[in-house]
Amino acid sequence: MPTRSELPTLPVLDAPSLRTRPPRAGARPDTGLEEYGTETTVLPSFHVWTLGCQMNMSDSEEMAGALLAAGCSEAAGIEQADLIVINTCSIREAAEHKVIGRMGVLGRLKEANPALRVVLTGCSVRADNQGVLQRRYPAVDLFLRPDEEPELTARLGLAGLTTADQLGDGRFQRVGRSVAATADRLPGTRAAAVEEGRIARSRGVKAWVPIVYGCDKTCTYCIVPFARGPERSRPYDDILAEVGQLAEAGYRELTLLGQNVNSWGHDLEPDRRFAHIAGGRELGRKQARDGRPDIAALLRGIDAIGDDEGSSGIGRVRFVTSHPWDLTDRLIAAMAECASVCEHLHLPVQSGDDEVLRRMGRQYTVEAYLDLVDRLRAAVPGISLTTDIITGFCGETEAQFESTLELLRRVRFDQVFAAAYSPRPGTPAVRLADDVPAAEKKRRLNELLAAQEAIGLELNQAWVGRRTEVLVDEIRQPRQHDHEVVAGRGPRLVGRNREHKLVHFDGPERLVGELVEVHIERAGPYALVGRRVGEPDHA
Ligand code: SF4
């Protein structure tokens, strides 16, 4: 296993844009006093551009918090910034193309502002691909691996609360043929950031709480295990402390995050509070827990926060992303018994064919997945299920794609996030033949989305006439594709119910951040439209 010193190190950059503040117009400098004057400096204003999953969004909140704590300010937009942090995603090709497409613009911004620095981080940055990245992203000054994100301010030469010395060395581990950074310090730097209030949460009502970093799974199309390293769980008490803070601050919903959130805790030390937890996993390799906590225990701990401390607790708890391997009966029981856990689960299936699943390295069969669905629906009546699907994976035949459509019709997911397969450099699947033509992948994708649209519409229509509790997120102008559900009154407020359905309704701005009872009047494939309970019908 190579040590950090054996690997190429990134340059420490000059402090970006440490400019002397210009004198105010009209002020007459007293040259006699000049030598006694203090020099005021302007720290860089920053803009964080985030692509990809909720984990990236949470990481961006932490980096923004560190920059604010170092004295920087948030720029009004990317064009006004002295420091641009791009937190990108390489799971899908589209995100990378988006960033590559902005290199020209970033180059022009740097010409106009020579002090501008551009940092790129996220799953695209690995221990072994710096040369490729420099060619692909010429406007970028500094590449940070996900495990190096706590070093952001130190690498930029900014006086932050965290210095490179305090961070210590990261560690590296071989994952397959690659070297992944393990960064065991991530749980610790998160705990310090929480304690010192250094997380710039983007919203005051909903919060993300990362609980496990990295992934131990073997999905052949995925870069995460190579980019983020093996799983490292945050300690139980640290997570509960962060959730307690959020409850006191009035947050109403939190989402526990992990690339494979259900496996949280298996790498922690045994703890006698969890002596009753012996086994784990219904699918895949059986994992002995031997008194280590699992996510079921964590959900129960979070659910009890309000009771123990006399505060209101968090009313809504979600967790994402779940791999079917680690969806145990203990977890399903916790979902059923904890009042705060929402009646929704995102459970990626990826394909409806066993042979394709095997090539994807998913380690479950369609039958096992369907069994989980049945158990979830029996334990949590009315649970909504969403999933991810890849069309046109290596070697996928028409018959195998048909099996995926059949799975869709059988499960009747509330929503499907689908993408056509694109080989990602550095993943094991690049050694498989990418033999489904691009046009065919797209055709399958469109067929699948059309089938799902009909299912989504039917499921949403079953909500018409019901009342549901909506946590209002924002005011939003109607979008073009919402036309069939928003025609007429033009709803302004948008939020989600516990089942994660998007709900539009009219109401005053002050309701943003509130829980509101809504009577559903209409439904489209992607959203529900209703009226606030108690509001007169003005149609
Ligand atoms: S579970 Fe599979 S798809 Fe998800 S992050 Fe891990 S390797 Fe990637």
Q: Residue 522 is inside which H or E element, if any?
A: strand 515-523
According to the model, what pLDDT value does residue 175 have?
54
According to the model, what pLDDT value does residue 289 have?
83
Shortest-distance Cα residue to atom 4 of ligand 1: 259
According to the model, what pLDDT value does residue 160 have?
54
Residues 368 and 302 in one domain: no
DSSP per-residue letters across 50-95: E-SSHHHHHHHHHHHHHHHHTT-EE-SSGGG-SEEEEEE--SSHHH
According to the model, what pLDDT value does residue 481 have?
52
According to the model, what pLDDT value does residue 386 have?
98
Nearest to 268 by CA among 308, 303, 295: 295
197 found inside a domain: no
pLDDT digits (tens, 9 = 90+) for 219-257: 999 988 888 888 999 999 999 999 999 999 999 999 999
Rounded distance between C-alpha atoms, residue 247 and residue 158, angstroms = 32
Residues 101 and 117 in one domain: yes
According to the model, what pLDDT value does residue 177 have?
55
According to the model, what pLDDT value does residue 161 have?
45
- What is the whole-number distance in angstroms between the Cα of residue 258 and the centre of ligand 1? 10
Average pLDDT over residues 273-287: 75
225 lines ligand 1 (CB under 6 A): yes
Shortest-distance Cα residue to atom 2 of ligand 1: 219
pLDDT digits (tens, 9 = 90+) for 451-463: 999 999 999 999 9
For helices 93-101 and 103-112, what crossing angle results, to 10°? 30
Average pLDDT over residues 283-307: 85
- Asked if omega into 321 is within 30° of 0 (cis), the reply is yes
Nearest to 261 by CA among 213, 293, 227: 213
What pairing do the DSSP bridges indicate for beta strands 467-475 and 415-420?
unpaired
Rounded distance between C-alpha atoms, residue 483 and residue 460, angstroms = 16
Residues 105 and 166 in one domain: yes
Of the two residues 16 and 328, the one the predictor is more confident about is 328
12 found inside a domain: no
pLDDT digits (tens, 9 = 90+) for 175-225: 555 555 555 567 777 888 888 888 888 777 899 999 999 998 989 999 888
Of ligand 1's listed atoms, the one at least distance from the Cα of 362 is 2
Domain that holds residue 72: 41-171
Of ligand 1's listed atoms, the one at least distance from the Cα of 215 is 6
pLDDT at 132 over 90: no
Model-level pTM? Answer: 0.84
Average pLDDT over residues 429-445: 96
Residues 282 and 320 in one domain: yes
Average pLDDT, the chain: 84
User: Where a domain ends, among 413, 439, 462?
Assistant: 462
Residues 208 and 295 in one domain: yes
Rounded distance between C-alpha atoms, residue 502 and residue 472, angstroms = 10
Nearest to 300 by CA among 354, 276, 325, 336: 336
CATH of the domain at 78: 3.40.50.12160
List, in sequence order, every residue forming a beta bridge with 520; answer none if it has no partner: 530
Residues 396 and 420 in one domain: yes
Q: Structural domain tally of the chain? A: 4
pLDDT category, 483, cuts 50, 70, 90? very low
According to the model, what pLDDT value does residue 24 have?
40
Average pLDDT over residues 425-448: 95
Nearest to 57 by CA among 129, 143, 180, 146: 146
35 found inside a domain: no
pLDDT at 434 over 70: yes
CATH of the domain at 430: 3.30.750.200
84 found inside a domain: yes
217 lines ligand 1 (CB under 6 A): yes
Residues 46 and 165 in one domain: yes
pLDDT at 82 over 50: yes
Residues 372 and 474 in one domain: no
Q: Which of 72-76, 297-301, 367-371 has the lowest mean pLDDT?
A: 72-76
Of ligand 1's listed atoms, the one at least distance from the Cα of 361 is 2
pLDDT at 7 over 80: no
Which mutation among 92, 175, 217, 264 tests ligand 1's pocket best, with the greatest number of atoms within 8 A of CB? 217
- What is the whole-number distance in angstroms between the Cα of residue 322 and the centre of ligand 1? 9
User: Where a domain ends, among 279, 296, 324?
Assistant: 324
13 found inside a domain: no
323 lines ligand 1 (CB under 6 A): yes
pLDDT digits (tens, 9 = 90+) for 310-325: 555 899 999 999 999 8
pLDDT category, 491, cuts 50, 70, 90? low
Q: Which of 93-107, 179-193, 502-516 has the lowest mean pLDDT?
A: 179-193
According to the model, what pLDDT value does residue 515 have?
94
According to the model, what pLDDT value does residue 458 have?
98
According to the model, what pLDDT value does residue 467 have?
97
Rounded distance between C-alpha atoms, residue 151 and residue 165, angstroms = 10
Average pLDDT over residues 320-337: 94
φ/ψ of 344, rounded to 5, equals -155, 140
Residues 166 and 46 in one domain: yes
> Do the beta carbons of residue 107 and residue 41 sit within 8 Å?
no
329 found inside a domain: no
Which residue bears the tokens 């012996």?
A: 278
Q: Which residues contact 449 (CB under 8 A, 6 or more apart)?
A: 416, 418
Rounded distance between C-alpha atoms, residue 13 and residue 15, angstroms = 6
Nearest to 317 by CA among 297, 344, 293: 344
Of the two residues 226 and 449, the one the predictor is more confident about is 449
Residues 56 and 71 in one domain: yes
Of the two residues 531 and 92, the one the predictor is more confident about is 531
Residues 447 and 469 in one domain: no
According to the model, what pLDDT value does residue 171 have?
56
Nearest to 527 by CA among 460, 450, 481: 460
- What is the whole-number distance in angstroms between the Cα of residue 218 and the centre of ligand 1? 7
User: Where a domain ends, among 462, 483, 513?
Assistant: 462
- What is the whole-number distance in angstroms between the Cα of residue 90 and the centre of ligand 1? 13
Return the percentage of the chain with pLDDT > 70, whole number. 81
198 found inside a domain: no
365 found inside a domain: yes
222 lines ligand 1 (CB under 6 A): yes
Residues 352 and 444 in one domain: yes
pLDDT at 42 over 70: no
199 lines ligand 1 (CB under 6 A): no
Rounded distance between C-alpha atoms, residue 403 and residue 407, angstroms = 6
Of the two residues 158 and 386, the one the predictor is more confident about is 386
CATH of the domain at 271: 3.30.750.210
